[in-house]
Chain A
Amino acid sequence: MKSIVAAPAAASPAGIAQRPHPGLGQRSLSLAWMMWPAVSFVGAMIVFPLAYAVWISLYDASLGAEPRFVGLGNYLGLLRDPEFRNAFKVTWLLYAAALAMQLVLGTWLGVVLNGVRWARNLVCTIAITPFMLPPVVVGMMAMVLLDPSVGIVNWLIGLIGMPPQLWLAHPTWVLASVALVDTWQWAPFVALLVLGGLQSLPVSVFEAAEVDGVIGWRRFVFVTLPLLGPTLLTAAVLRSVDLLRFFDLVFIATRGGPGNASTTMNMYAYQQGFEFSRFGWASASMITLSLVVLCTVVVFARLRRAVSW
């Protein structure tokens, strides 16, 4: 088996490209048409809308007015717009808080689940329930639970003598509250990824660590966590894409308020596009958001390659 795979490389030590089998190219060409449904789908559903959004972001396009070409005017306008700058800041604050909580809690939960022997499947099934819920349901649940008058959260903290808090209605608390709700929903997802990662780690490494006397907390920090690096980065990438596009929970529970304290970039773009009908401006903010997401994913992908083992 090994010799069969190695044979072509041995035959071309200088790296000279091998001529394909005479019949293979013709067959590839004859089958090329089979790619067209996929290519058409990608073109129609991804490339065209994206290109259209880029194109419209270069225009001052509002409802009821003739579109006017402004070049990068909308993008420069975004940089000067205090509302957009606030949305940018809110997005990153929410992203940082929620991602940190989800990775920490998810890792802890994954390690705990890995140690559970009894009824692990049942526990896992319960754990995945939050992220199977539609965001609208989660938003409504958050509104009910965190309601300052009748919510159970204020009742519970009242039992330990704390005053009621305006969880979703005060600028100081709203981002933390939204991040907590999102963490409740998505930390189990990270936990499942971590659980899968833990179960795929080589047992021999842990046995060697044990022989060397590295146990308990030190084993977790110096052995388990580095080995889990790629898994955690994968989780971070998946959650980053979602968190930077944060919308549904904010839309349902706070509408971006109070004031603009929870207006994320996505919420800002929604308001500009659908409430104020400023399509060019909204497209520019969405393209900016897409670039932010893309850059973040690229950074994590590079990190992922750096820590792979």
Chain B
Amino acid sequence: MNPVIRTLALACATSGAVLLSAPARAQSFDWKHFDGETLNVLLNNHPWSNAIRDLAPEFSAKTGIKLRIELLNEDPQRARLGTLLQAKSSDIDVFNSLQIREGAVYAKAGWYADLTPFVSNRALTAPDFNLEDFGEGLRKTATFGGKLVALPINVEGPLFYWRSDIFAKCKVEVPAFLEDIPLAAAKLKACDAGQGVWASRGVRNAIPYAMASFVFNSGGDFKSADKKQPGLCQPKTITGLSMYADLLKNYGPVGATNQSFPQVVELLGQGKIAMTHESSNEFSNIMKYPGREGDLQIKVLPKGRDSGISKPVAFGFGLSISEYSKKKEAAWYFVQWATSAEVETKLVAKGVAPPRTSVFAGPAMKNWAGEKPVRQQWADALREISRTGTGDYASPTDRVPETREIIGRAVQEVVLGQKTAKEAACAADIDLAKLQ
């Protein structure tokens, strides 16, 4: 070939290649794209939040984005979030929330940015980010009106914890059915009057979370049979409510109506109680107490003997971008990093149950869980509740926080001996109906 023609052909080919590669380069993902930005992140006090705060320097090193993470207890965080977002403030870029509780209301208020365009934008999303890796149920919970409003950050639900050494000492069988729990509690109390038997959440708005499976496994529901009315006054729901309240009343710690998960964890960790039904999230906190890794066992709350039903509560918090954030794209970088398989793998060691299927079934989880029998039980129980659990344990209304107050108050009235379970449940139904 003529050298001139060859040179021209080469030049054309090179130019073509450059031109063809230009769009690809423009779409290539770069973690350093928002180097120098600062994001404000508002999180509630949660094992995931504490763990992610520890990992924040890694994110800053990787992206050049600085994080200002504010951690508040659950209620103050909601109050602060409400104040800022109601005022359409751009002070918050990223926040976490519980979609099964406040998701519908936040979505209606327009507080969540739609994450769908970010996920599908190859220039803004890492190639190895795989949305389908989150279970379908979790993605569905985080979707409102076709908009993906959050990415799941954990899987959690209440689990049944019991002290195998105390059960063995008292020669009490581990409850195989829900109805065995009060029987076991009675035997444990008779065996050693100095040993606390039971503890669970007794603060009004915290009760439904721990009580819901007692209701479901008894064959009850928080909705009527046609799912259109509140259903607390149904016989089987009353049975479950009554069992939960009676356990607190007869075998619970004094002052149980003022206690929530911090007190329950403290009592279990210090060895003052023999069993509880408490959040899987608290596993890492409980294991910090000496001796508990050896004598504690975990499983899903036993199914009802008569009903044959095992319906645990399971859900996860989600990480969202504020609709009013002025740095949504940089915020998306943080959200995708915090929910990436790489980060979730690191969080496993801190006792955060990963919502990504690949991480849950991955070697890191297997190795970590395999180190101790109690970890394996915890992982198995989580796998089960992820498969069979529900996050819907309210009467039919969007005003979920109010339902929790009303249901919790009914249980407190039974614990305090002010009403029978039937009286409290039927009175609560009247109040719940007003929320519809």
**A-to-B contact residues, CB < 8 Å:** 63-65, 143, 147-149, 164, 166, 168-171, 253-260, 270-271, 274-277, 279
20 additional contacts, CB 8 Å, given A257-B203, A259-B257, A277-B105? Answer: A63-B82, A63-B86, A63-B105, A63-B108, A147-B255, A148-B254, A148-B255, A149-B255, A164-B254, A169-B254, A171-B416, A253-B258, A255-B258, A256-B204, A259-B409, A259-B418, A270-B79, A274-B75, A275-B78, A276-B402
Q: Is the CB of A257 within 8 A of B258?
A: yes
Min Cβ gap A130→B in Å is 23
Please name the 9 residue pairs, one residue from A and one from B, whose CB atoms are nearest each other, closest first. Answer: A64-B108, A169-B255, A148-B254, A148-B255, A258-B257, A274-B79, A64-B109, A169-B258, A64-B105
Q: How far is the CA of A22 from the CA of B192 in the complex (A)?
A: 95
B253 at the A/B interface (Cβ < 8 Å)?
Answer: yes
**Interface code B398-416, partner A: CB below 8 Å = 1, 0 otherwise?**
1101100100010011001
Q: How far is the CA of A259 from the CA of B414 in the complex (A)?
A: 10
B256 at the A/B interface (Cβ < 8 Å)?
Answer: yes
Contacting residues, chain A, for B109 (C-beta < 8 A): 63-64
Contacting residues, chain B, for A277 (C-beta < 8 A): 82, 105
Q: How far is the CA of A148 from the CA of B108 in the complex (A)?
A: 43
A-B contacts, 26 of them at CB < 8 A, read A63-B105, A63-B108, A65-B108, A147-B255, A148-B254, A149-B255, A169-B254, A169-B257, A254-B258, A255-B205, A255-B258, A257-B258, A257-B412, A258-B416, A259-B257, A259-B409, A259-B418, A260-B409, A274-B79, A275-B75, A275-B78, A275-B205, A275-B401, A275-B402, A275-B405, A276-B402
Q: Is the CB of B105 within 8 A of A166?
A: no
Contacting residues, chain B, for A147 (C-beta < 8 A): 255
Contacting residues, chain A, for B254 (C-beta < 8 A): 148-149, 164, 166, 169
Q: How far is the CA of A169 from the CA of B203 in the complex (A)?
A: 10
Q: How far is the CA of A143 from the CA of B256 in the complex (A)?
A: 13
Contacting residues, chain A, for B402 (C-beta < 8 A): 275-276
Contacting residues, chain B, for A254 (C-beta < 8 A): 258
Min Cβ gap B253→A in Å is 6
Partner of B258, one of A164, A168, A260, A276: A168
Q: Is the CB of A168 within 8 A of B86?
A: no
Q: How far is the CA of A127 from the CA of B329 in the complex (A)?
A: 55
Consensus secondary structure, chain A interface: loop
Partner of A170, one of B203, B398, B399, B416: B416
Given A166-B255, A271-B405, A276-B402, do A255 and B105 touch, yes or no (CB 8 Å)? no
Instruction: Count B-side interface residues using an 8 Å CB cutoff.
Output: 31
Q: Is the CB of B257 within 8 A of A276?
A: no
Q: Which of B79-130 contact A (CB under 8 A)?
A: 79, 82-83, 86, 104-109
Q: Is the CB of B86 within 8 A of A279?
A: yes
Min Cβ gap B82→A in Å is 6
Contacting residues, chain B, for A143 (C-beta < 8 A): 258
Min Cβ gap A63→B in Å is 5
Q: How far is the CA of A147 from the CA of B107 in the complex (A)?
A: 40
Contacting residues, chain B, for A276 (C-beta < 8 A): 399, 401-402
Q: How far is the CA of A70 from the CA of B83 in the complex (A)?
A: 23
Min Cβ gap A278→B in Å is 9
Min Cβ gap A280→B in Å is 13
Residue of A166, A276, A277 with highest tally of chain B CB at under 10 A: A277
Q: Which of B204-247 contact A (CB under 8 A)?
A: 204-205
Q: How far is the CA of A164 from the CA of B416 in the complex (A)?
A: 16
Q: Which residue on B lies nearest to A254, using beta carbons?
A: B258
Q: Which residue on B lies nearest to A251, using beta carbons?
A: B75
Q: How far is the CA of A271 from the CA of B107 in the complex (A)?
A: 20
Q: Is the CB of A257 within 8 A of B82?
A: no
Contacting residues, chain A, for B105 (C-beta < 8 A): 63-64, 277
Q: How far is the CA of A277 from the CA of B257 in the complex (A)?
A: 25
Residue of B106, B256, B412 with highest tally of chain A CB at under 10 A: B412
Min Cβ gap A167→B in Å is 8
Min Cβ gap B200→A in Å is 15
Q: Which residue on A lies nearest to B404, using beta carbons?
A: A275
Contacting residues, chain A, for B204 (C-beta < 8 A): 255-257, 259
Residue of A147, A166, A171, A275 with highest tally of chain B CB at under 10 A: A275
Contacting residues, chain B, for A166 (C-beta < 8 A): 254-255
Q: Which residue on A lies nearest to B107, using beta carbons?
A: A64
Contacting residues, chain B, for A270 (C-beta < 8 A): 79
**Interface code B249-268, partner A: CB below 8 Å = 1, 0 otherwise?**
00001111110000000000
Q: Which residue on B lies nearest to A61, using beta carbons?
A: B86
Q: How far is the CA of A228 from the CA of B79 in the complex (A)?
A: 43
Q: Which residue on B lies nearest to A167, using beta carbons?
A: B255
Q: How far is the CA of A143 from the CA of B203 in the complex (A)?
A: 14
Q: Which residue on B lies nearest to A275, using beta carbons?
A: B401
Q: How far is the CA of A277 from the CA of B83 in the complex (A)?
A: 10
Q: Which of B36-52 contact A (CB under 8 A)?
A: none
Min Cβ gap B103→A in Å is 11
Q: Is the CB of A259 within 8 A of B413?
A: yes
Contacting residues, chain A, for B75 (C-beta < 8 A): 274-275
Q: Which residue on B lies nearest to A174, using beta carbons?
A: B258
Given A63-B86, A64-B109, A279-B86, do A257 and B401 touch, yes or no (CB 8 Å)? no
Q: How far is the CA of A259 from the CA of B107 in the complex (A)?
A: 31
Q: Is the CB of B258 within 8 A of A149?
A: no
Q: Is the CB of B257 within 8 A of A274?
A: no
Q: How far is the CA of A270 from the CA of B78 in the complex (A)?
A: 12
Contacting residues, chain A, for B107 (C-beta < 8 A): 64
Q: How far is the CA of A63 from the CA of B111 in the complex (A)?
A: 10
Given A63-B86, A257-B412, A259-B412, do A169 and B401 touch, yes or no (CB 8 Å)? no
Contacting residues, chain A, for B416 (C-beta < 8 A): 170-171, 258-259
Q: How far is the CA of A67 from the CA of B79 in the complex (A)?
A: 20
Min Cβ gap B234→A in Å is 23
Contacting residues, chain B, for A168 (C-beta < 8 A): 255, 258
Q: How far is the CA of A279 from the CA of B75 in the complex (A)?
A: 17
Min Cβ gap B150→A in Å is 16
Q: How far is the CA of A254 from the CA of B255 in the complex (A)?
A: 11
Q: How far is the CA of A279 from the CA of B105 in the complex (A)?
A: 13
Q: How far is the CA of A149 from the CA of B254 in the complex (A)?
A: 6
Q: Is the CB of B401 within 8 A of A255?
A: no
Q: How far is the CA of A148 from the CA of B254 in the complex (A)?
A: 6
Q: How far is the CA of A171 from the CA of B204 in the complex (A)?
A: 14
Contacting residues, chain A, for B104 (C-beta < 8 A): 64
Q: How far is the CA of A309 from the CA of B413 in the complex (A)?
A: 53
Min Cβ gap A287→B in Å is 18
Q: How far is the CA of A257 from the CA of B203 in the complex (A)?
A: 8
